[in-house]
């Protein structure tokens, strides 16, 4: 029995070398299924199946679909490797192949970077070839992106570095939409119109970016966070007690990012007030104040 995109363990080892030679392809089903789901959540099941169909029958030859097969195979192989590597740690530590903790951490970081790269290439390929992947624009992720303040990873990266990752941008789309609805529209009635309001647009950009990162830290798995945030978590881990370590570390990083976002939310309030005081007819949102706010504005 084979897995999608992999007829044998040798096919997987083309993309990640760490799997042992005696590993049976059937034995990887438990780590393959959640890995597949992670990819499907991003590109949609129809697009996944379209690429899989070409893998199973690459005739006639199609260079774009062939690239998609390569990228999705690389992503799946590296995603699968991470849980497999942890599952094998107990057995590995009882042999001469035992690794130090820092060596294991380095292997995981390299693997994360690799599957991020593969997914970034895959998403960028889909975006550039909508006529080929006609089901992709119908996914919720793609449609929701059209209504975001930031339209792509490159725009987001101007305000907070995510290594211009299309993958990370896509998995944070629900968070970005939530922040816009909860935090921005309540403060600026005319959102997203920023005509001649450069400072307000900058502060909204920074507020959304920092608050997105803060919420992502608490909600996403470590492997789904950008390298910069993972580095921050690692640094915090060195000074955090082992008891409830993961949650404590995430909370510390979340607090740093959230407090910065709050500064920009306050600036948005100031920007709006300044516009109100200098522009005739400017109207504040009806629901300006919220009972959870620590300060209140009066029209």
pLDDT at 275: 81
Domain boundary (104, 138, 172) is at 138
Look at residue 156 and tell me if it is in a domain: yes
The answer to whether the CB of 257 falls within 8 A of the CB of 213 is yes
Same domain assignment for residues 254 and 150: yes
Instruction: Over range 222-228, report the average pLDDT.
Output: 91
Residue ending a domain, among 138, 161, 193, is 138
Cα dist. 242→87, 221, 236 in Å? 21, 19, 11
Which DSSP letter does residue 287 get?
T
Q: Is residue 285 included in any domain, yes or no?
A: no
133 and 3 share one domain: yes
Please compute the mean of the pLDDT values over residues 228-244 and round it to a whole number: 70
* 149 and 132 assigned to the same domain: no
Please check whether residue 296 lies inside any domain of the structure. no
Q: Within this chain, do residues 134 and 145 fall inside the same structural domain, yes or no?
A: no
pLDDT at residue 205 in the model: 96
Tell me the C-alpha to C-alpha distance, in Å, between residue 231 and each of 91, 184, 193: 28, 29, 36
Rounded-to-integer distance, Cα 8 and Cα 299, Å? 68
Residue 15 is assigned to a structural domain of this protein = yes
Do residues 116 and 229 share a domain?
Answer: no
* Residues 6 or more apart in contact with residue 209 via CB below 8 angstroms: 150, 156, 159, 160
* SS3 (DSSP) at 11: helix
Residue 266 has pLDDT above 90, yes or no: yes
| 97 and 197 share one domain | no
Residue 14 lies in domain: 1-138
Residue 266 lies in a domain: yes
Please give the structure tokens belonging to residue 119.
């997914």
Task: Let me know if residue 170 belongs to a domain.
Answer: yes
Q: Are residues 120 and 172 in the same domain?
A: no
C-alpha torsion 230→234→240→245, nearest 10: 60
Same domain for 98 and 163, yes or no, is no
Work out the burial of residue 141: count CB atoms within 10 Å of its CB; fewer than 13 is exposed, 13-18 middle, 19 or more buried.
middle
Residues 150 and 112 in one domain: no
Domain total for the chain?
2
Residues 113 and 201 in one domain: no
Task: Give the tens place of pLDDT for each residue, 180-220.
Answer: 999 998 888 877 778 778 999 999 999 999 999 999 999 99
Residue 196 and residue 127 share a domain: no
Residue 293 has pLDDT above 90, yes or no: no
Is the residue at 295 inside a domain? no
Residues 130 and 244 in one domain: no
What pLDDT is stored for residue 296 in this prediction? 43
Least confident stretch, 66-70, 132-136, 150-154, 182-186: 182-186
Domain-located, residue 237: yes
**Given this model, what pLDDT does residue 243 score?**
43
Last residue of a domain, one of 138, 166, 189: 138
Contacts of 81 (CB under 8 A, 6+ apart): 16, 18, 19, 111
């Amino acid at each position: 029995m084979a897995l999608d995109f992999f007829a044998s363990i040798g096919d997987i080892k083309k993309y990640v070398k760490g799997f042992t030679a005696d590993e049976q392809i059937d034995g990887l089903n438990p780590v393959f299924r959640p890995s597949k789901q992670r990819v499907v959540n991003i590109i949609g099941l129809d697009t996944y199946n379209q690429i899989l169909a070409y893998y199973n029958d690459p005739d006639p030859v199609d260079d774009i679909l062939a690239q998609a097969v390569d990228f999705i195979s690389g992503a799946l192989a590296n995603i699968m490797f991470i849980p497999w590597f942890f599952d094998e740690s107990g057995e590995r530590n009882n042999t001469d192949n035992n690794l130090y903790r820092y060596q294991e951490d380095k292997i995981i970081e390299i693997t994360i970077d690799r599957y991020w790269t593969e997914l970034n290439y895959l998403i960028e390929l889909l975006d550039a070839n909508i006529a080929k992947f006609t089901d992709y624009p119908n996914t919720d992720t793609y449609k929701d992106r059209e209504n975001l303040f930031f339209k792509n990873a490159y725009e987001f990266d101007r305000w907070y570095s995510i290594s211009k990752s299309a993958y990370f941008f896509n998995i944070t789309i629900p968070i970005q939409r939530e922040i816009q609805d909860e935090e921005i529209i309540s403060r600026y009635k005319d959102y997203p119109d920023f005509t001649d309001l450069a400072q307000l647009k900058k502060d909204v950009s920074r507020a959304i970016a920092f608050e997105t990162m803060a919420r992502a830290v608490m909600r996403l798995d470590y492997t789904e966070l950008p390298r910069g945030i993972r580095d921050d978590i690692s640094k915090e881990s060195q000074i955090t007690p082992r008891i409830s370590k993961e949650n404590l570390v995430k909370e510390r990083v979340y607090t740093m990012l959230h407090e910065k976002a709050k500064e920009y939310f306050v600036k948005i309030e100031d920007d709006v007030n300044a516009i109100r005081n200098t522009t005739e007819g400017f109207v504040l949102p009806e629901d300006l104040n919220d009972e959870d706010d620590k300060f209140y504005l009066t029209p």
